[in-house]
Amino acid sequence: MLIDNHGRTINYLRLAVTDKCNLRCFYCMPEDGLKWLSRTELMSYEEMLRACALLVNMGIQKIRITGGEPFVRKDIMKLLTAISNLDGLQDLSLTTNGILTAPHVAELKAIGVKSVNLSLDTLDAGRFFSITRRDEFGAVMASLDELLKHNIEVKINAVVMDGKNTQDIIPLVELTKELPVSVRFIEEMPFNGDGQIHQTKMSWDYIRILEEIEQVYPGIKKIQDPVYSTSYNYHVPGHAGNVGIIAAYSRTFCGTCNRIRITPQGTLKNCLYDDGVLNIKDLMRSGNNDATIKDSLLNAFNNRVKNGWEAEKLVKNTGMHESMAAIGG
Ligand code: SAM
């Protein structure tokens, strides 16, 4: 079991397999995209699999594949299948925007993926276009259908943005009436990849989001949050699904943080808000054996910051210009 210097269990890896994305969500990256990583900067699938195997051997039980958009990386199903076969891994899941997902759902089910996070900030096709700068709402809804048909648990992630989609909060809650999905509202974070330092004014924090929902659903009930949950979870009586709120900017969940991240170029992040603590790809490419790499990883886990506020303070260039696609949201 992996325990950090603050006594927290580490058992969850989020692996970003590419920085590329087929959407251009305005809060994530500029309209022209990012300065994409070259092939040699990216970890190869062999390197990713080796990193995952090492970490599973050390105590990681859950791996989430993210990006960028996982399905824009060629042959992603090969990597997912190989990871799903790792001895000791209990849970493989992924986060996707749903554009290219539908044709892969049956195979995802077959390799044991039980849960998928689907990013969807609005149920209005016009607003979808204005937020993502792509006309792909129909493709995302088709993937949602396909996932539900295959009994894969779906969590819909919606970033709440002042002046952009707050009118979608109630329709998204309404979606839980008939569908057994968990709709999670996320506070907007300052990772939009435009090279600027942003002093984010959090006008829609988790408290305001809940108040907005309670106005229409005064009977909404708090339910038990799963262990290590980053969301506060609720249920509207009579609805098939649940509602969650993720205080991603307010950072209320750091005390039980069980997760680490690896970016597409192999940077290990102990916290979403740090700027990387070591590069596992570089360690591998310099010919280190597994034992040496494990020692470096353990050393990093023994020096984790206490919370995201501390991490942010330590980042010299503030790091706030990064895109979530380059980090693995
Ligand atoms: N392409 C996949 C997707 O869309 O789900 C995975 C990567 S995406 C970067 C992961 C999540 O990060 C998405 O749910 C996205 O909405 C969220 N995200 C991106 N930028 C964000 C920001 N500035 N604040 C909050 N969430 C953000």
- Which pLDDT tens digit goes with each residue over 19-51? 999 999 999 999 999 989 999 999 999 999 999
134 C-alpha vs ligand 1 centroid, how far in Å? 15
Residue 320 has pLDDT above 60, yes or no: no
Q: Tokens for 310?
A: 């501390």
Q: What's the Rg (C-alpha) of the chain?
A: 19
Cα 157 to middle of ligand 1, angstroms: 8
Q: What is the rounded distance in angstroms from the CA atom of residue 270 to the CA atom of residue 130?
A: 33
Q: Which position has the higher pLDDT, 319 or 239?
A: 239
Residues in a beta bridge with 117: 95, 155
Residues forming beta bridges with residue 221, ordered by sequence position: 235
115 vs 182: CA distance, rounded Å: 11
The whole-angstrom separation of Cα 76 and Cα 69 is 10
Report whether residue 67 contacts ligand 1, using a CB cutoff of 6 Å: yes
Looking at the DSSP bridge assignments, the partners of residue 246 are 186, 231
Amino acid at site 268: L
Mutational pocket test of ligand 1: of 246, 263, 324, the residue with most ligand atoms within 8 Å of the beta carbon:
324
The residue contributing the CA closest to ligand 1 atom 14 is 119
The predicted pLDDT at position 199 comes to: 53
Give CA–CA dist 118/101, Å, rounded.
10
329 or 15: whose pLDDT is higher? 15
> Is 80:92 a contact under the CB 8 Å cutoff?
yes
Per-residue pLDDT, 172: 98
Q: What is the DSSP string of 169-213?
A: HHHHHHHHHHS--EEEEEE--S-B-SS-------SS-HHHHHHHH
Residue from 26, 122, 186, 231 whose mutation best tests the ligand 1 pocket (most atoms within 8 A of CB)? 186
Backbone φ and ψ for 78, nearest 5 degrees, come out as -65, -45
DSSP character at residue 4 = -
For residue 325, give the ligand 1 atom closest to its CA. 9
pLDDT at position 183 is 98
294 CB-contact burial (10 Å; exposed 0-12 / middle 13-18 / buried 19+): middle
Predicted TM-score (pTM) of this structure: 0.94
